[in-house]
Amino acid sequence: MNKKMNHLPVNWTDGVKISAEHFFKSYNNVIETIKDYSSVCLKSYEYGLTEKTSNFENLQLEALTDGDNSLIIKLKSCNAITQGGYRIIYHPNLYGEDSPSVTLKTSDFDKTESEEFYVILTLSPFEYLPVGMPDPEVLPLHHPHVLPKLKLHTVPVSKINTSFLKEHFLVVSKILWVNGLFSIDQDYIPPVVNLSANEQLEDFSKGLLQVLISVKNYTVKVFKKNNEQKNNNKLVINTFSICEILQEYYSDNIFNLENLSFKRSPIYLVDRLVVLANKLSICLSIMNDKEKEELLQYYYQWTDIKPSYILDIIADTVNVKYNHIEISETFGVLNKFVTMLERIFKKMSELEYIGQRKDNIVINEESISQFSGSKGRNTTWSIID
């Protein structure tokens, strides 16, 4: 909330000559009051694109290239709210031919270097664009309505402090400059009000539900197959400990994930998975070191997922930082974590018993690359791939 109001209420007084300026001042005060109230209610992780409607997409950008491979980005539709509380509603039926656009010229950049750019949509709430069909019967001839001015900008990621992109700004896309060519980062997810506002996040959430249901069923199979040897087999005892955590987590969270998470900010889903990672981390940390090593080596024997990778991914999930402007980075970590759990316990449930050994072990390096490779930038992520 602003500590100072820039547009105070008009002191309407009988006998004072009224002009258009008075109405603009009054309108500006209403806009600022609504915005101020909205900003009080909004948290730093609850702004961005709103849910899609049947009329138009909540975000649609058109990318065009010209003869010298310069990139032109045009806004086609947008339905969002800024962190400062300003609503952004754009589609051609409202704004006519006034389409915000921005151009990146190849001649302005070194082809030997790589760089990332944010595409930022700015709103000028008190700068008005006349719109609407003029009424020929009304003089002077004029457009009957006004809308706030919208503009697109590009700024290098390395040269911007996102802490100040609150009042009138919304990051809507990311552009990559690599090998002398521009391209839109297809993995980038702009800030969203809730998971349903982005197809990738919605698909991830649906995939997560299916994986959790599957993992719960896998753990039940593991219990049924190994109950008789749970007292004298450390591999079984320690696997049961992990299974109990997964089953308890499922019971505590499945209703929330099925019924509430889609309508909430992505940070709440991140929170739920970080809780699970912490539980597993504690479970492994209190195991006898030798038993833990044997357990992870056993999983490696059957799944080709290295012990170091298991521990690293759990640690990465425990320590993950949520950035509402870089949502995809966080979900890339979560995807690795959930996919790893699903693969391990699917295999454990298929064994005749925990402790069964694999003969003639040949590690296929290609098949494990996704589990032991670099932890650098993901090019894509989806549980349901």
pLDDT in tens, the chain (385 residues): 455 778 888 888 888 888 888 888 888 888 888 877 777 778 899 999 998 877 789 999 999 988 777 899 999 999 999 998 899 999 988 898 888 999 999 888 988 899 999 999 999 988 889 999 998 998 889 899 889 999 999 999 999 988 888 789 999 999 999 998 999 999 999 999 999 999 999 999 999 999 999 999 999 999 999 987 766 789 999 999 999 999 999 999 999 999 999 999 999 999 999 999 999 999 999 999 999 999 999 999 999 999 999 999 999 999 999 999 999 999 999 999 999 999 999 999 999 999 888 774 433 333 433 444 444 445 455 554 4
Question: So what's the pLDDT on residue 380?
Answer: 53
Question: So what's the pLDDT on residue 383?
Answer: 58
The secondary structure element, H or E, covering residue 374 is none
Instruction: Say how far apart CA 257 and CA 206 lie, in whole Å.
Output: 9
The full set of domain ranges for the chain reads 1-41, 48-184, 195-372
Dihedral angle computed from the Cα positions of residues 102, 156, 147 and 12, in that order, rounded to the nearest 10 degrees: -150
Question: So what's the pLDDT on residue 244?
Answer: 97
What are the residues whose beta carbons fall under 8 Å from the beta carbon of 175, sequence distance 6 or more?
71, 73, 104, 116, 117, 118, 119, 154, 182, 183, 184, 185
Exposure letters 9-43 (e unless 16+ CB within 10 A, then b): ebeeeeeeeeeeeeeeeeebbebbeebeebbeebe
Global pTM reads 0.84
E strand segments, 82-168: 87-90, 101-104, 115-131, 145-156
Question: So what's the pLDDT on residue 382?
Answer: 59
Alpha carbon of 332 to those of 118, 180, 339: distances in Å? 19, 27, 11
Peptide bond into 140 cis (omega under 30): yes
Q: Enter the tokens of residue 78.
A: 């947008």
Question: So what's the pLDDT on residue 232?
Answer: 73
Instruction: Say how far apart CA 115 and CA 86 lie, in whole Å.
Output: 30
DSSP reduced 3-state for 150: strand
